[in-house]
Amino acid sequence: MHKAFEVTVLGTSSASPTKYRHPSAQFVRMEGEYFLIDCGEGTQLQLTRMGLRMHRIRYILITHLHGDHFFGLPGLITSMGLHGRSDKLTIAGPAALQPVLEAILACGETTLPFEIEYIVCDPNRSEEILVSPALKVVTVPLKHRIPCTGYILKENGPELKLNVAQCEKLKIPVQSYDAIKSGLDYVQDNGTIIPNAELTLPGNKNRSYAYISDTIYDETVAVAVRDCTVLYHEATFLHELEARAKETYHTTALQAGKIAAMAGVSQLLIGHFSARYNDADELQTEARNVFANTEVAEEGKTYTV
């Protein structure tokens, strides 16, 4: 049985929020852990409206320091403190995030009753910033007007199931089972190798969720997110505004579809829509022309990875 791996969209606007769209934020549940990706202004209220409990969030991943991606962070952190959080919170983001957050809290003489651990992302290279037996988080360097990092959240468990009957028959010691499930061959004391394929059966494929916002159209992103299960990619403009997208380091819906198709992902979610589009139908149609399994990210909706 797969564990829940779900993404709830909290905001789909770009820089200017509208009456119906909040700035970027997503709540992700994976392997029993809760992540918030980006935290635009009003995120704490969106969480409350959607019945998502802020105290569950253990990791916050911030892509970059434009306001529509982090202006909700001081308020969220302050509220976590007011609600008596004591668990450590881990925040990943650019180097400038920690000093500015500390300056904001200091000017209100706010002290938090919990520890914040900061992970500084290098905007120029991909890094594994979190690794556990169950999951990992990998960064994707993005090309935007300021240092910017995408994130891939991946299940990290063994993709092979033990062929228990066969292992017992061959008297494989139980303490070797984990190594075998991870894909290694078994080596007997006399040097005989029992190939992994004889000891395992295909299991669940690890799923992955890539969050790519904000970026100019950049085919290296397709390489980085290759074979991800679900790709969230910004699609700020329709392709008729390609020049505007390039100038502002954003992507068109058509280009987002191209990245998804090149990367061979299973599903594309698009968001970060310019305020000029009252509804996102045209953006969806445009992306679907290139990559059929495209969905428009809708606020309040939960997507299964």
Residues at the site binding its own copies, with contacts judged by CB under 8 A: 15-19, 22-23, 41-42, 44-45, 48-49, 64-68, 71-72, 74-75, 78-79, 82-83, 94, 96-97, 99-100, 103-104, 107-110, 145-146
- Residue number, 123 or 158, with CB nearest to its own copies: 123
**Which residues in 249-279 are b (16+ Cβ under 10 Å) and which e?**
bbbbbbbbbbbbbbbebebbbbbbbbeebee
Q: How many CB atoms lie within 10 A of CB 143?
A: 14
- Residue number, 86 or 110, with CB nearest to its own copies: 110
CA distance 305 to 296: 15
Which residue bears the tokens 């970027």? 24
State whether residue 24 is helix, strand or coil. coil
Q: How far is the CB of 49 from its own copies (least distance, A)?
A: 6
Q: Which two tokens stand for residue 6?
A: 């779900």
CA distance between the termini of the chain: 14
Q: How far is the CB of 231 from its own copies (least distance, A)?
A: 25
Q: How far is the CB of 12 from its own copies (least distance, A)?
A: 14
Residue of 68, 185, 227, 281 marked active site: 68
CA distance 148 to 94: 7
Q: How far is the CB of 111 from its own copies (least distance, A)?
A: 11
Q: Is 142 exposed, middle or buried (0-12, 13-18, 19+ CB in 10 A)?
A: buried
CB 229 within 8 A of CB 207: yes
Active site residue 218: no
- Residue number, 73 or 259, with CB nearest to its own copies: 73
The answer for residues whose C-beta is within 8 angstroms of residue 22's C-beta and 6 or more apart is 10, 11, 12, 13, 40, 41, 42, 43, 46, 299
Q: How far is the CB of 64 from its own copies (least distance, A)?
A: 8
- Residue number, 82 or 131, with CB nearest to its own copies: 82
CB 62 within 8 A of CB 93: yes
- Residue number, 83 or 161, with CB nearest to its own copies: 83
Q: Which residues are catalytic?
A: 68
